Amino acid sequence: MRKRLVWPVVAALGLTLGLTAPTGATAAPALSPALPPALSPVAEQLPALKALAEAGQARLGLTRSPMQDAALAAIDPTQYECSAAPPPVLSAILPDATNWTPDQRLAATLVLIFDIPMVDAVYLPQSGPFTYGADGDFTSQVNRTDRSLRTFWDIPSAGIELVPAHGHSLLNPAVSARVLTALYGVNPATAQAVGELIAVQLNTPALNQGDLPVFTFNAYAASGGEVIPGYPTAVRRIVLGDGVLDGFAKVGLGDVAPRAILAHEFGHQVQFADNLMRTDLPAPEASRWAELMADAFSSYFLAHARGGAVQWKRAQQFSQVFFQVGDCGFSAPGHHGTPTQRMRTALWAYTVADTASPQGHILPALTFHGLFVAQYPQLIAPDA
C-alpha cells in the first residue's frame, strides 16, 4: 500500500499554463484539439500510452495527483468539480507554457501522465549520494530531520530508504525508458523513443533542463513489497520530489516545509509499521483517516521539544499554505480532508505536544494513535 502527498487543485490553474481549462462536467481525457500537430511520431501513440499509464497506475495502486492533472489541463484540458483561486504555492510553480513548441508540450504531457521521476524513485533502485532540491539546497535540513524522525518514533526504521526525485533525471533517456517498460508495460522501442523525446525537449532553458517544479511537486511513502520484473523487490521508501521543496521555498516556507512534509510521509511509515490503516472503510474515508493521522503525526513531531521544536506561529503559517491547496473531492479515493479539518488536526496535535507534562516525554506511536482515534469525530466534524 502506498500513500502520497496529493495536491488537489482547480480548473483555474490551467490559466497559468497558457490555455483555459473550462469549468463544468468532467470530460474524458483527450489530446487537446487546440494543440498544433507535434513533430514527433510519438504523438501518434499518445492515446495508447495514456491507456497504459492508467492501467499501470491502477495495478500499482497509485492515484495521479490532481497537481499533475492541473498541468495536464493546460495541455490536455480536464475539468474539475471544484472552483477556487489557486494557493500561492501552486501559482509559484506552474510554468507558462504559452510559447512552448508542440514537442515540448508533448514531452511534458508524457512526463505528467506517467509521473516518471516520482515513480522511478518509488519503485526502482536509486544510487546516492542523495541531494534534495534541484540545486541541493535542502540536503542538510532533510537529512537532519530524517535522523530525528528515526529516533523520535518507536518503529523499526532501519529499512526505510529516503530518496529524492529529480526533474533533471529526465535528461537521461534510460530513466524514462525503464519506468515505461518495467512499470507500465510499454514496448522497449516505444519506451526508448519516448525517453529520447523527453530528454531532448526538456533540455532547454524554457523547461529548465527538466527541473520544472511541476514535474516533481509531490512526495510519497511506500510500504514496499512490489515485485518488478528484472529488478529487486521494492523496499519501504520515502520519496521527496525536488519540486515540492523548491515550490514552498518560493513562497518563503523553505525553513519549515521540508521538515513538515517529511514528517507527514514518515507518519505513513508509522502507519505501515503499526498496521494503522483502515481497510474497513470506503476508499475516500480510508484515505481521509490515513492522511489526517499523518498530519497529526507530523504536527506532533514538529511541536515537540525533542522533535522539530517549531513554534506554532511558524507551523501555522506553513499549515495555512499547505492546507489551502484544498480538498473537496469527498468521493475521490485520495480524499485528504477539507482544509479546515486538516488545520484542526494540525492544531490539535500541536497542542498535545505543547501542553504535555513533562515536556521531554515522547508518546509511543500507538499511544498517540489512541488519542487521535478518540479525537477523530471532532476533527472531521462539519466545518460550519
44-67, pLDDT tens digit by residue? 777 788 788 888 877 777 765 554
Low-confidence ranges of the chain (pLDDT < 70): 1-39, 63-86, 320-337, 383-384
State the pLDDT at residue 142. 98
Q: How many domains does the chain have?
A: 1
Considering the entire predicted model, what is its pTM? 0.81
3-state helix, strand, coil in the chain (%, to 5): 55, 5, 40
State the pLDDT at residue 56. 83
Rounded distance between C-alpha atoms, residue 33 and residue 77, angstroms: 9
State the pLDDT at residue 184. 94
Instruction: Quote the percentage of the chain above a pLDDT of 70.
Output: 78
Q: Is residue 12 part of a domain?
A: yes
Q: Is residue 384 part of a domain?
A: no
Query: Where do the H-state alpha helices sit in the chain?
Result: 46-60, 66-75, 88-93, 102-114, 116-123, 139-152, 173-184, 188-202, 242-250, 257-274, 283-303, 312-324, 339-354, 365-379
State the pLDDT at residue 337. 61
Q: Which domain holds residue 43?
A: 2-377
